[in-house]
Amino acid sequence: MMGSRLVLLIAVLVLLSIDYSFAQSAEIARTPPMGWNSWNLFACKVSDAVVRAQADAMASNGMKDAGYAYINVDDCWQGTRDAQGNIRGNEKFPDMKALVDYIHSKGLKAGIYSSPGPKTCAGYEGSYQHEGQDAQQYAKWGFDYLKYDWCSAETVYKNSDMPAVYKKMSDALRATGRSIVFSLCQYGLTSVWTWGAQAGGNLWRTSDDIQPNYNSILALGFGQNAGLERFAGPGHWNDPDMLEVGNGKLTADENKLHMSLWAMLAAPLLAGNDLAHMNPEVLSVLTNREVLAIDQDPLGEQGHRVWQDGPIDVWVKPLGDGSKAVGIFNKGGPQDPVTVQFRTLAVGKFAEVRDLWTGKDLGRLENSITTEVPAHGVTLLRMR
Ligand code: GAL
């Protein structure tokens, strides 16, 4: 009797000592996070008023209904620490708690940004030696998401310290008892996809910063992210960086290509434009439900390239209902119609095909599909 109690006691102790951080972090962000982030357009011009305006827009323009949830403040919100070392907002963010309450009142979630180093990339106060205190502060304010950007951490740590440094903040966030999405930003160094989930990350950047131009989108989407699909899945995602849809001089076709590629990559979808001032074409690209469904598919498989010929790239993403998303991309100028064989896509001899940007059923096709793909554009299909 004593013996079996002892065994039970030991079993309980062993269970308690197992590190469940990976399992816990996987409970949030079951599909790639969707929201908005201030950096791509506003950079250090971000303010409380700008952020509130984005929350107002997201809550009322159809984005929230389409699944966008996070309103994320990036760099440049930080002020000084008080006598106890608590971080405070700067003059552009006079009351962080009130801001978060406002975002929550719109039925949205709130995100914040810091660095494991002494300073952020823009030179503001980082979390170095204040990790636990900052995590508590973010939770007290009510934040639901933290982007943690390496920046000046390189002056106090070695690259090989990264997993432990990120795990430290992940543990601190978990200790708050709040569900906080943890976004790793260290530009893909040290093959972060191989350790990001174990360090508690729900997403990790795979590359340097995106820019609001077509070549940057091609480089990040087709380049660094290709081939990383086995590291992505529910709760932990490769992040080719935030969206530039609606920024710079991207054309309508380039915006669609960008959105389609990110959806095929099961990428986090953080709009980076001014949601309060965008034209209907940009909004329609951001809120196409059938395209978002590819990104948000519950299976959580990142798509992969199956065919490439000159400027034409064909990608497939298996979906939870057994159908497949197929992206036929034209990275170059005007082309003749493209024919893709079903065997290349590993779909059967016949397939029901739907075009997700035109919203048209193309019917039951046999053996192949032929489509005209515009310059810098895409034909995005769902095949069953
Ligand atoms: C970069 C980061 C950007 C943005 C910026 C802020 O390192 O990749 O996404 O957060 O810092 O200073």
Does one domain contain both 366 and 270?
no
Res 183: pLDDT:
98
CA of 177 to the centre of ligand 1 (A): 27
Residue nearest atom 1 of ligand 1, based on CA coordinates? 121
Closest C-alpha to ligand 1, atom 3:
209
Q: Are residues 308 and 291 in the same domain?
A: no
Q: Cα–Cα distance between 164 and 289 in angstroms, integer?
A: 39
Backbone angles phi, psi at 18, to 5 degrees: -65, 140
Rounded Cα distance between 43 and 46, Å, is: 6
Q: How far is the CA of 45 from the centre of ligand 1 (A)?
A: 14
Active site residue 65: no
Q: Are residues 154 and 123 in the same domain?
A: yes
CA distances from 265 to 30, 98, 137, 152, 153 (A): 15, 35, 34, 29, 29
C-alpha 108 to ligand 1 mean position (Å): 23
Q: Determine the 3-state secondary structure of 360 from DSSP.
A: strand
Q: How far is CA 340 from CA 263, 317, 325, 327, 361, in A?
A: 20, 15, 14, 11, 17
Q: Is residue 13 part of a domain?
A: no
Ligand 1 near 75 CB (within 6 A): yes
User: Does the pTM exceed 0.75?
Assistant: yes
Note whether 225 and 350 are same-domain residues: no
State the pLDDT at residue 187. 98
Structure-token pair, residue 118: 């002494």
Residue 70 shares a structural domain with residue 167: yes
Give the CATH number, domain containing residue 215.
Answer: 3.20.20.70
Q: Looking at the structure, do residues 283 and 326 belong to the same domain, yes or no?
A: no
Judgement on whether residues 128 and 215 belong to the same structural domain of the protein: yes
Q: What is the pLDDT of residue 27?
A: 81
> Measured on CA atoms in the order 55, 60, 61, 66, is the torsion positive or negative?
positive
**Shared-domain flag, residues 57 and 34:** yes
From the list 359, 360, 353, the residue with the least C-alpha distance to 324 is 353
pLDDT at 70: 98
CB 378 within 8 A of CB 327: yes
185 lines ligand 1 (CB under 6 A): yes
Same domain, 31 and 147: yes
pLDDT tens-digit readout, 151-160: 999 999 999 9
Tens of each residue's pLDDT in the chain, 384 residues: 445 665 555 555 444 444 434 444 448 999 999 999 999 999 999 999 999 999 999 999 999 999 999 999 999 999 999 999 999 999 999 999 999 999 999 999 999 999 999 999 999 999 999 999 999 999 999 999 999 999 999 999 999 999 999 999 999 999 999 999 999 999 999 999 999 999 999 999 999 999 999 999 999 999 988 899 999 999 999 999 999 999 999 999 999 999 999 999 999 999 999 999 999 999 999 999 999 999 999 999 999 999 999 999 999 999 999 999 999 999 999 999 999 999 999 999 999 999 999 999 999 999 999 999 999 999 999 999
Annotated catalytic residue: which of 56, 161, 171, 209? Answer: 209
Q: How many CB atoms neighbour CB 254 within 10 A? A: 23
**Both 144 and 169 in a single domain?**
yes
CATH of the domain at 324: 2.60.40.1180
* Ligand 1 atom at minimal distance to the Cα of residue 149: 7
Residue 219 pLDDT: 96
Catalytic hit among 134, 144, 149, 295: 149
In single-letter form, the type of residue at position 218 comes to: L
Domain that holds residue 344: 304-383
**Count of domains for the chain:** 2
Instruction: For residues 329 and 315, give the distance between their C-alpha atoms in angstroms, rounded to a whole number.
Output: 8
Residue 9 counted as domain residue:
no
Residue whose Cα lies nearest atom 2 of ligand 1: it is 209
Name the residue among 66, 42, 19, 65 with its Cα closest to residue 54. 42
Concerning whether 274 is annotated as a catalytic residue, the answer is: no
Nearest CA to ligand 1 atom 8: 209
Q: Look up residue 57 and give its two tokens.
A: 């827009």
Q: Domain boundary residue among 271, 295, 319?
A: 295
Instruction: Tell me: do 319 and 274 sit in the same domain.
Output: no
Does any domain span residue 16? Answer: no
Using an 8 Å Cβ cutoff, are 245 and 256 in contact? Answer: no
